[in-house]
Structure 1
Amino acid sequence: MSKQVVIVGAGFAGMYAALAAARLRDRHGVAPDAIEIVVVAPEAAITLRPRLYERAPATMAAPLDALFDTVGVRFVAGWVEAVDAAAGRIVLRDGEGRHSEIGYDRMVLAAGSRLAMPALPGLDRFAFSVDQREDAIALDRHLHALAERPWSVARNTVVVAGGGFTGIETAAEMPARLRVALGEDRDVQAIVVEQADAIGPDLGPGPRPVIEQALDSLGVQRRLGVAVTAVDAQGITLSDGKRIDAATVIWTGGVRATPLTQQIPGERDRAGRLLVDGDLRVPGAPSVFAAGDAASAQTDEAGHRTLMSCQHAMPLGRVAGNNAMADLLGVPATPYAQPRYVTCLDLGPWGAVLTEGWQREVRLAGAAAKALKRQINQQWIYPPLAHRGTAFAVAEPGYHPTAA
């Protein structure tokens, strides 16, 4: 009777988990019908989530069906609603609302994360986001429709709630995107609201002068030390009682791991991520591995842990998929380690900033960093070609595009 490795999710971690599992299966001469690899996700496509703050978000997806076919991975369309780790099965719902079950011998949970939406008045009704592809498309349509409204300060103003990584990248794009929609000569405003006393609080002081220089150059204003307390059709209310009139409010207030992590026995962090061991196995569920935004793993001997970013999701996926298959084959696992850490933050038409290390020391800024950011966003994060050798080469644990 054949065995199954089931991978939940087809994002960066899920895609590479599937390729890595297929690579190891092939390397050991095991037929696909002896150990089947199944990917379960809503669609056989990867959303290029790191690019959703850019223009044309409807194009920010890449198909995976041909790639999966090439390496012998079966794709099942559906939404996983339940995980029974004790019984080794998942319950999924298809597009018609029908439910079914799939059993597994090993599972990789790589179902990603979702934007955290606190219970602020009007937030769910009036705020936009760049979290999922459909969210970014809705924002893009809204921005283009602004030209049909009569002139007002509110029409020409975008508020970005949250001054973290996503908030900064989104805000840096907004003046140009508003002018595309309203006209190049329009007086537009982009305002970042951040409850911390400094922009990019999680990025630290290293890149902050560059970020501030870029935002000043682009005309992006900052309101620091205040929080959004309510959103309505005409703007926002702040914690100091003041208002900002804006027809466009974009929420970027952090993400939480897939709720499926709550159904698996194990310890979780504040973002809901499962704490995994060095092989990316969930200690409380030996047949389950976790990767991407569903996992919190130690990256190095200094104790740093993975962040919810594609920089960590892709290597996590490679190692989790490899180790799930290795566990079934009875061969040694590959411990996860990713000691090198960099940050490449897009700063819109101004350029970008590249930092290195967990202290985020600036290495490049401006046009040179922008060229690297384009390479990351337009090449490195895309799936490999549907060619067996190419796919297996990039699926090897430890692979990095700069080493290719």
Structure 2
Amino acid sequence: MSKKVLIVGGGFAGVWGALAAARLLDQQGKTPADVEVTLVSPDPALHIRPRLYEPAPETMSAPLLPLLDTIGVRFVAGSVAQIRTGAQEVDLIATDGGKLRLPYDRLLLTTGSKLFRPPVPGLEEHAFSVDQLADAIALDRHLAGLAALPDTPARNTVVVVGGGFTGLEVATELPLRLRKVLGAGAKISVILVDTGEVGAGLGVNPRPAILEALESLGVQCLGGSGVASIDAGGVVTASGQRIDAATVIWTAGMRASSLAAQVSSSLDPLGRVEVTPDLRVVGADHVFAAGDVARALTDDQGHYALMSCQHAIFMGRFGGHNAVADLLGLPTLAYRQLFYATCLDLGEWGAVYTEGWDRQVKLTAAAGKDRKREINTVWIYPPAPDRAAALAAGDPMFTFG
């Protein structure tokens, strides 16, 4: 019987993990009869989550079945409910409602993260998000429906909670989106609320460009105050200020998939598992983790991977490669990702592109926007279903450019 490598999660880390696993098996002359690689995910598509702040989110996905078929990876549609590391098997609920039990010889956990929703009164009932595809579609439909409401300041006001990367991209995209819905003459108000200084978490170097973009777009910043409650008509801040708004969008914080806690009790404050340099879960010899569920060092300078598709893609390659290498008795590779860059979309103003952990600004405004389009439409999409190109994309040493 064939050995089994199971990849749980069809996001960026899982897809590139599958590419890397298939690549190493091909190099070793192994077929599915020798080692079967299975990817488990609810939907046979990669949702391009970094683009869900854009209009038309229903178009932000890439089909996976043609690619997986090309590289000989089996796909199972379902969600894992239980991982039993002792028995080396998982229980899952299939998308069609059935229940399955899948054994594994090596497991790669890549189930990503979800938006952190603290117990703020009214958050679950009244706030939108761009966390998952369904969330972004619901927000898009809500924004489109604003034009049918009476023209009031509340209708024309959007409160975005969270001044980090996602909050900034959402807030700076909104003025154009709202004008397209409400008309060029509508008096639009976008208010960005954060417990600290808006954008401070991105560092001092890109901050001037961020502040310039916010000012030019008319986005108001309310820093130093969280949100105490949310209702159908707006929000109340922690300082007691009432903001009437028909739309509240929550972007404040992420947490790793709850499945991480099933493979390890050693979790960081974000719920990520501790891993060894080759991405093996500490205390679970046959389990590897990559992407948002793994707390992994990227270099020898003490920098840990962030919850981002950039790190997930690269980490996924190492995770898929190492799961197969370990199964075949080959040396594993220490995950290293020495190049780090960010590209923050800032709506009509453009974007700011930085390199290095100190975020040295390299491109801004229109030039930054061109780089952002390239990243969002080319770099983060899986390869075409061409076997040679797909396997090459799974190389852990692959770099863009």
Name the TM-score, length of structure 1 as normaliser: 0.98
Matched with 2:271 is 272
- Aligned to 2:286, the other structure's residue is in SS state strand
Contact 1:234–1:245 (8 Å) recurs in 2: yes
Contact 1:126–1:233 (8 Å) recurs in 2: yes
Whether 2:45 is the aligned partner of 1:21: answer: no
Matched with 1:333 is 332
Contact 2:264–2:273 (8 Å) recurs in 1: no
Displacement of 1:248? 0.4
Q: How many residues align?
A: 401
1:265, 1:51 → 2: CA distance? 31
Which aligned pairs between 1:1-400 and structure 2 lie closer than 5 A?
Answer: 1-196=1-196, 198-400=197-399
Contact 1:12–1:310 (8 Å) recurs in 2: yes
Report the residue type matching 1:118 in the other structure. P
- Aligned to 2:10, the other structure's residue is in SS state coil
Percent of aligned pairs sharing the same letter: 54
Displacement of 1:265? 2.4
Displacement of 1:95? 2.5
- Aligned to 2:334, the other structure's residue is in SS state coil
- Aligned to 2:259, the other structure's residue is in SS state helix
Displacement of 1:266? 4.4
Contact 1:266–1:275 (8 Å) recurs in 2: no
Report the residue type matching 1:5 in the other structure. V
1:326, 1:181 → 2: CA distance? 53
Contact 1:282–1:289 (8 Å) recurs in 2: yes
| 1:205-259 CA-partner distances (Å, limit 9, x unpaired) | 1111110000100010000100011000100000111111110000001110000
RMSD, matched Cα: 0.8
Contact 2:162–2:194 (8 Å) recurs in 1: yes
Contact 1:266–1:285 (8 Å) recurs in 2: no
Q: Which runs of 4+ in 1 moved over 3 A?
A: none
Segment drifting more, 38-47 vs 352-361? 352-361
Displacement of 1:400? 1.6
1:302, 1:271 → 2: CA distance? 21
Report the residue type matching 1:27 in the other structure. Q
Displacement of 1:185? 1.7
Contact 1:199–1:208 (8 Å) recurs in 2: no
In structure 2, runs of 5+ residues without a counterpart are: none
2:146, 2:48 → 1: CA distance? 26
Report the residue type matching 2:343 in the other structure. C
